[in-house]
Amino acid sequence: MNRLLLLGGYGFIGGNIANKAQGKMDVVIGGRHQHPGLKSFPYRPFDITNRDDVLEAMDEVKPEYVINAAAISNIDLAEHDRELAWNVNVSGAQYLAEECRRHDIAYLYFSSDAVFDGKGGSYKEEDTPNPLNYYGKTKAEAEREVLSTWNRSVVVRISLVLGYPVTSGNAFYLSLEKHLKNGDKVAFSTEEYRTPVDVLTLAESVLELSENDFYGIIHIGSTHSINRYELAWKVAVAMGFDPVLIKPKKGEMSPNRAPRHRNGIINVEKAQSVLKTEMLDIDATIQRSIDER
């Protein structure tokens, strides 16, 4: 089996990729800390913000493919700790691209619809980035660095990922479920649109990309977009809760919140043509993310 070095393997997306890859690839998880929930996978301590550590780890692990799911993905944290966000999201991504080029192996990097300002819609891979927040800026810059550094790189842009973490990570479902069980009212924006993908379809798409010869930028998401309020309402119903607790909200959720792009509407036609993995509609996306918990 090909050896996969997976950075960020203990996060929400990475943990699901590791589980899906088990038995198909020889997965080695790299990160600063090992998580007890995935002890069946070999672990290599790894600091992607340290160029020498990246070089040594790559020479030691000798992977045939690298997936970088490590990121400072909390938009507000990235806004307030810009040095950390840059070091992880940009410098770390570039160091890995350089090492993948040196070893002549393919590299997959996760980016975001936050590279766009959200004033348009149905963004295609070729559209020009214009981020509103610092997180988006780090992702846009990392895309440029990765693709210019190594021509066997894949940049996967995602909008919003639905589902449950295998170990840990920032998962919208866990927070929503907790509030609904407690009987808390929760408000979601009617003005922010996203193009969700369930984490299992995402993991399958990424593993398929590791086996084909596609390189460049690709958008992975559902076939339609939805605003956050309608999405939360549908998810609550699918979870078996009364959606009466889901309330609509306009404008910014908090004055301390970093600016968000309103239209995270990404076009997935390229994914539909490149991949055998099916891009699902909104309802199927929600249902799958809950059914396969």
Active-site residue list: 135
Residues 155/218, Cβ–Cβ less than 8 Å: yes
Give the residue from 146, 170, 162 showing the smallest Cα distance to 66.
Answer: 146
For residue 289, the surrounding DSSP H or E stretch is: helix 282-291
Q: How far is CA 170 from the centre of its chain?
A: 10
Give the residue from 38, 55, 40, 122 showing the smallest Cα distance to 92.
Answer: 55
- How far apart CA 82 and CA 199 sit, in angstroms, is 27
Q: Quickly tell me which residue has 């920032």 as its tokens.
A: 170
Identity of the residue numbered 31: G
Residues 162/235, Cβ–Cβ less than 8 Å: yes
- How far apart CA 216 and CA 169 sit, in angstroms, is 27
- How far apart CA 174 and CA 165 sit, in angstroms, is 9
Q: Quickly tell me which residue has 């924006």 as its tokens.
A: 189
